Amino acid sequence: MSKAMRRQLNALARQTVGQGVYNVTTNNLGVMVHHYQECQILTVDRDAQGLEVLGYGEAGGTSSIYCCTFGDQGVTGLQGPFQSRYGISVRDLGEVPDAPVFRTRIDWYVGFGVMHPRAAGRLHNIAPLT
């Protein structure tokens, strides 16, 4: 979810059920980790062009929350074969003749798979608090 949506969820949780449902802890690296009940909340902010990801830019000025279970039986990463081998393939193509630059080719066919029908879900049409 977006950071704005996380703030909205925090406010709603405090208003309706009080403390204890929405928690913030610190992990081993000193990073704050937000939880709603037992679920960790991950946020996205802006993309490489500086545009907000998952903001209130959907139809009617609404937003969405995506929930996923990661793992072998949930949402998982996949990689395909390249030259009959799985994984990443790196080839050194040598130095470029007109610049002090080395050229390297990296081939890696990857994707995501949803291995169970309930491993991913979307709650949509969420309006901002007024």
Residue pLDDT tens, the chain, 130 long: 888 888 888 787 777 766 667 788 888 999 888 888 778 888 888 888 888 888 787 888 888 888 888 999 999 999 888 777 788 888 999 999 898 999 999 988 899 999 999 999 988 888 887 6
Quick check: 35 and 29 in contact, CB under 8 A? no
Domain residues for the domain of 47 are: 3-126
CA triple 60-66-69, angle to 5 deg: 170
How far apart CA 52 and CA 68 sit, in angstroms, is: 21
- Its pTM stands at 0.64
3-state secondary structure of 13: helix
When divided into structural domains, the chain yields a total of 1
Token duo for residue 14: 């405090």
